[in-house]
Amino acid sequence: MKKIVLFCTGISGSGKSYFIEKTLPSGLFYNLKSATTRDMRSGESESNPYYFRNEAYFETTPLITKLWVNENMWHIGERKWLYGVPESEVLNNLGRNFTYDVIEPKYVRQMIDWFHLKKLDRDYGFKIAWFIPPYNNFEIASRRATMPNDIAVRRANTCDAADFLDAGLRPDYILRPITGNFDERLYQYINVLYDDMLFDQKHNMQRAANKSK
């Protein structure tokens, strides 16, 4: 059975991070981390939840995805808010299931194209979960804003049907977890992956025990 990249896609405040951290079975997925040029916020640390880097890092490091989130509001002398998943994040964790928390479908397309380019699609399949927030949830999400123009940048981000069409993608699952609306097909699929993981663990333990005899 192929390993999977589960893309959790949706605007700020749609419940993606909560779903990954609180709902998915422990140990089943590795959540791919991005590097970023933004400042570390209270409660964050290196590699939790990002790798905090300077702009030079983005010019010299091979990246799977590259996001410049304040590009349309940037002026010379200001910091660029860059995000991107380093290639090493995947290459150092091959053989594991992945999740990727991302706002816009075009970055899902970037990652899928990279997997095809590296011929890793022989070992990995892709599933896209579209997270739709309650209509009034933006004000809650905007409380996280800590940088100049942060709220404006968040409002500029979109994740709608047209964005999926532009990226040549179709979501496999649609969820609104904050209101308790889940797609049962996703949970059924995750349960299959979880059972497969437990089977592999049991098989590996048996093999190790046999070798030690």
- Domains of the chain as residue ranges with CATH: 3-212 (3.40.50.300)
Q: What angle do CA 31, 202, 125 make, to 5 degrees?
A: 40
Mean pLDDT of 109-132: 97
The predicted model scores a pTM of 0.88
Average pLDDT, the chain: 88
pLDDT category, 147, cuts 50, 70, 90? low
Cβ neighbours of residue 54 closer than 8 Å, sequence gap 6 or more: 37
> Residue 134 pLDDT more than 90?
no
Q: CB of 106 within 8 A of CB of 166? A: yes
Phi/psi at 98 (5° precision):
-120, 150
71-87 tens-digit pLDDT: 878 888 888 889 999 99
**pLDDT above 70: residue 139:** no
Angle, vertex CA 180, rays to CA 186 and CA 183, nearest 5: 20
Confidence tier at 186 by pLDDT (50, 70, 90): very high
